[in-house]
Chains A and B, each alone.
Chain A
Amino acid sequence: MSSNTIKVTDECIGCGICVDLCPLNCLRMGADNKPYLQYEECWYCGCCEIECPVSCLKMHFPFLIY
Chain B
Amino acid sequence: MKLQQITVNTDLLIIGGGCAGSMAAICIKEAAPNLNVCIMEKGHIKRSGSVTMGMDALNVAVIPGISTPEEYLETLKKKCWGIIDYLPNYTLAQRSFELLKTLESWGVFFPKSEDGNYNIMQVDTSGKFCVAMDEPDLKPIMEKKIREAKIDVLNKTMGTKLIVKDGKVLGAVGFNINNGQVVCCRAKSVILANGSASRFGLPNTGYLYGTFDFPGNAGDGFALAYRAGAKITGMEFTLRYALVKDLNIPLIYIVLTRGGQVINTSGEVIVDKNNLSIFLIVEALENRKGPLFLKTDHLAKEKILEIENILFSTERPMQRRYWELKGIKFGRDLIELNLTEAQLCGGHGISGIVIDELAQTNIKGLFAAGDVSSVPMQHLTGAFVYGKIAGESSIEYCNNENFSENHKDIDREFAAEFEHLGNLLNLAENNAIQHTTFEYKLRRIINEYLLSPKNASSLKKGLNLINELREQLPHQVQARNFHELSKILEIGYILDCAQMSALSSLTRKESRWGCIHKRSDYPDTDDVNWLKHIDLQVGHTYPETDIYLREIQRGDGK
Contacts and interface: CB of A to CB of B under 8 A. Distances in A.
Contact of B43 (A22, A39, A60): A22
B326 interface: yes
Contact of B325 (A25, A45, A46, A66): A66
Interface string B161-188: 0000000000000000110000000000
A25 B49 CA distance: 12
Indicate the size class of the contact surface on chain B. Answer: 35 or more
A45 B209 contact: no
Given A46-B317, A66-B322, A41 B205 contact: no
B178 A47 contact: no
Interface in A7-29: 20-25
Contacts of B49: 23
A40 B215 CA distance: 12
B47 A23 contact: yes
Interface in A35-66: 38-47, 49-51, 59-62, 64-66
B321 interface: yes
B77 interface: no
Contacts of A45: 47, 52-53, 316, 318
B207 A65 contact: yes
Contacts of A43: 52, 209-211, 214-216
Contact of B207 (A21, A49, A64): A64
B206 interface: yes
A23 B207 contact: no
Interface string B30-71: 000000000000111011110011000000000000000000
Contacts of B470: none
Contacts of A46: 53, 316-318
Q: From B47, B208, B247, name the one whose CB has the most chain A CB atoms within 10 angstroms.
A: B47
Contacts of B461: none
Nearest to B158: A25
Given A23-B216, A24-B209, A41-B209, A65 B53 contact: no
B487 to A, nearest CB: 9
A50 B43 CA distance: 16
Contact of B52 (A23, A40, A41, A62): A23
Contacts of B178: 25
Given A23-B216, A61-B322, A66-B322, 16 more contacts: A21-B47, A23-B48, A24-B215, A25-B43, A25-B156, A25-B483, A38-B483, A42-B209, A43-B214, A45-B316, A49-B318, A50-B53, A62-B209, A65-B205, A65-B207, A65-B246
27 contacts: A20-B44, A21-B44, A22-B44, A23-B48, A24-B215, A25-B178, A38-B483, A39-B483, A40-B436, A43-B211, A43-B216, A45-B47, A45-B53, A45-B318, A46-B317, A46-B318, A47-B53, A59-B321, A61-B325, A62-B209, A64-B210, A65-B205, A65-B210, A65-B248, A66-B322, A66-B325, A66-B326
Interface of A: 20-25, 38-47, 49-51, 59-62, 64-66
Q: Which 10 A-B pairs have the closest CB atoms?
A: A46-B318, A64-B207, A23-B43, A47-B47, A45-B52, A23-B52, A41-B209, A21-B47, A21-B44, A64-B205
